Structure 1
Amino acid sequence: MPTDALATMLTDLKRRSGLSYDVIGRRTHISKSTIHRYCRGESVPPDFATVERIAALCGATSAERGRLYASWSSAATGAAAEPAGAGEAGSAAEAGALAGSGSGVRSASVARSGSVARSAGGIGSASVARSGAGAESGGAAGAGSVAGSGGVGEAGGVAFTASVSGVAGLGSRRVPPGRWRLRRRAALAAVAVLALAVAGFWWPHDSPRAQTRAPLLNGECTAPVALGQTNGCVSVLQGLLARAGAEIVVDGSFGPITQGKLTAFQFLADLPVTGVADVATRKALHAGVAPLRSWPRDQVEARIRAVFVEAPDEAVRVAECRSHLDAMSVTPGGDGTRNWGVFQLSDRLLAEIGGTPRQALDPEWNIQAAHRRYRTHGDFGDRSCDPVNGTVVRAAPAAAGRAAPTGPGRPS
C-alpha cells in the first residue's frame, strides 16, 4: 500500500515524541481521529502542510521531513489513482463565481536581524526566517551572534539579508571599557565576514572571476540540486534564495520549504517550474532576475485583520496554519497541483476565479480572494486548519449571491 511507509513514519514520530493523539490534535488543529487514521494508513493527508505540522511538533529532523515528503507524495499519487469515493475525502470544494485581476507581486523590504555565519570554504549563507517559522531545521543562531562552522554543509546561522543592526546590538548594554573594545572588535569582524559573503554571492556570473564566485555554475556544484540532498551545494542554493529575498534557513538540507521557495522563484522568473535547481535556474539565481521579497509577517497579519472584519482572529489563525503568514509560500497538492501564497490558494480555485499563481503570490490579491470566498461560502474551504474544539466563526453568504465589494487592484 502506498500509505504504509507514510503511516509507519508518522507512527514512529508520534511514539518518539511521547505525545498522545489528543495532544497532537490540539496543537496541530487536526482531530485526533484523523491523525489516528493517518498513522494506521487508512487515509492520506490532503496536503503536505498537514504532515509538516505533525512532523514539526514531533521533532522531525530535516532529513526525516524530506523522507516524509517523498512518502506523502507517493501515497497521495496512489490515492488519486483509486476509484472515485475511495479513501478519505479531500478538502472541501473550493467554488464560487469569483473573477479577479490584480497587480503583480508587491515588493516590501523584510528587515530581520540574524546571525552572521561563515564556513571553511569561504561561502557566506543567509536567512531572514523568524524563529520557529518556515525553518527546515533548528540550526539557526541567535539574533546578533557571530557563528562559525567547520564546513559549507553544516548548519549555520543567517547572514547578508539580515540587518547589520543585529551585530551593532552587541554594544547596546553598558559594559566596562575593556569588554567594550572586545565587543567592538567582534562587531567589526562580523561586518567584515558579512561583506565578504555579500561580495561572493553578488559577483557577476559572467565575470572572469565567476569560476570561483559562482559555485552553482562551476566547480563542484554543477549537477542539479534537488529534494533530499544534504550538502554544501544546497547551502549555496539556499543562500542565493535568501539573497533574492526568500525567508529561508540556510542549513544545507534540501527539504520541502527549500523546494517551495525555489518553485516560487522559477515561476516568477518565467522558468520551467520543476522544483529542481537546474542550469537555467542557477543562472537566473546568480543574475538575481526574480526577487522573492514580499510583505513581512506582521504586515500580512495586520492586513488580514483589516480585511476580515467579520472574523479577524480566525482568519489569521487559518493563514498561520496554512502558510505561517508567508506571502511567498508554495506547497504541493496531492495530485500534481500546487497551493500558493498567504491562504494557499489551490490551482483549482485559481482556475475557477480566473486568477493566476503570480496574482496569488501578491499578498493583497491573495487576502482579498480568500475574503471573497469567505463572504460567499461562509468558510475558508479547506477544513484541515479548522480548530478541533470551539466554534468556528462563519460569515453570512453575500446577499443575493453577490460577493463582497472590492476596490481598485482587488479581485473582482
Structure 2
Amino acid sequence: MAQYGDVERFASWLRMLRERAGHSYETLAQKTGISRSSLHRYCVGTSVPPDYGVAHRIATVCGATPAELRELHRLWALADAERGPRASPEEGQELAAGAPEAPVSAARHPESPESPESPESPESPESPGTAETPETAEAPRELAPQPPSEHQTPGERRRFVGGRRLTVVTAVAAVLVLAVVTWRASLGSSPAGSAEAVDRRLLFSAGCRPVVSMGQHDECVREAQLLLRRRGATIGVDGSFGPETLRRVTAFQVLAGISPNGVVADPTKKALYESKVRLDTWSPEKVRERIREVFTEAPDDAVAIADCQSFLDPLHILPNTNGSRNWGLFQISDTRLRELKGTPLKALDPEWNIQAAKRLWNRERDFHDWPHCSRALKSAAPTAAASSTPR
C-alpha cells in the first residue's frame, strides 16, 4: 500500500472507528446495509467507497463525532483523488468489455460440513439482508479521455479538450456537493438520518426532567446554575435548587421576558443557552451611595431599610404566601407596583426601585411601608442612644 498513502490513511481511520465501536464486519453490515466483503475492502484499503455517503454511514454507525466526520471526509477526498482513474480488481472486471465471467464454483452439498470461515475474510459470502443497495454498490468508473495523438484531426482534438473541461467541471461540482453533505453532518445529524438535529445541550437531554424546579438536586440544576453564573449572576453552584437559585431563575425570567414562574422549563432552558440577557447589577457599595444621594433627609435609615429588605441586592425577589411577590432593593410589592405604574422589570432596575421607594416615603415622610424593618429601626434607636450616653 506504499503507493496509496492516502488510501491507507483513510482505511486506517475506518478501522479505528470500527474497532473503537467494537463492531464485527457482520454486525456493521447489518447496521449499515453494506455488504461484509465491501466493508472489509474499505477497511483494509483495497477499495475506496464510490461516494462519501457510504463512508459517512459507516462512521455514523460507529459513533463518530462531528469533528471525526469532517476529518473522515477529508481523508476520503484525498483517497478518492489518489485512486484516480485506477479501478479495483472488481471494477476492472466490470469495465473490461467482453471479459469472460469467472467460473462458478460447484454448489456445496447442503448436508456436507463446511469449514468455518473468518467473518473478516474478504472472500466470505455475504450474509442475508446485507447485500449492497444500488446506492452503495461500487459503480464502475468512466475511463479518462485519452490524450490526443499527432494523427488526430482538429475536430478530434477539440472534442478531447471539451471532454477534459467537462470532466473538471463535474469533479468540482462533486466536491461542492460533498462539502455540503459534510457540513450538514457536522451540525449533529442523528445516526438514523432524521431531519431534526439532535440537541446535545444537557438541559434538553433525556437525563434532565422537562421541568427543573425547587427541591431538585442533580447535575441539571448544576448546569442551570452554571449558565446563570456565566450571565453575571451571583450564585453558588452546588446542584441544589434552593431559595437562591429560585430568586436568580425568577430574575432571569423577568429580564428575558419569560413568565416568571421560577421553574426551568423549555422556554427558560432555551433562553439560558441562547439569549444575551445579563444578570450583572449594582454592587452593594454603589447601592448605598445612591440611596444616600436620594434619601437626603434620612440616608442612614434608608440604607438600613434596604439592607433589611434585600441585603442590598437589586435582583432580590421574595414570594409571599398569597402568591404575590416583593421586588428589588426595597422589596416593593405587586400592589405597590400597580399603584406606581411599575412592572417587575422596572422594579429590578435599582435606580427605578430607589426612586419608587422615595415616592412612597414622601407620602408620610416615614418608612411605614416597611413595617417590619422600620420597627427594627425604632427598637435599635434607644439602644444606640443609650450606648452613646456617658456613664
Category of TM-score, reference length = shorter chain: 0.3 to 0.5
TM-score normalised per structure 2: 0.45
Rg: which structure is higher? 2
Q: Comparing both structures, which one devotes a greater share of its residues to helix?
A: 2
More contact order relative to length (CA 8 Å, sep ≥ 6): 1
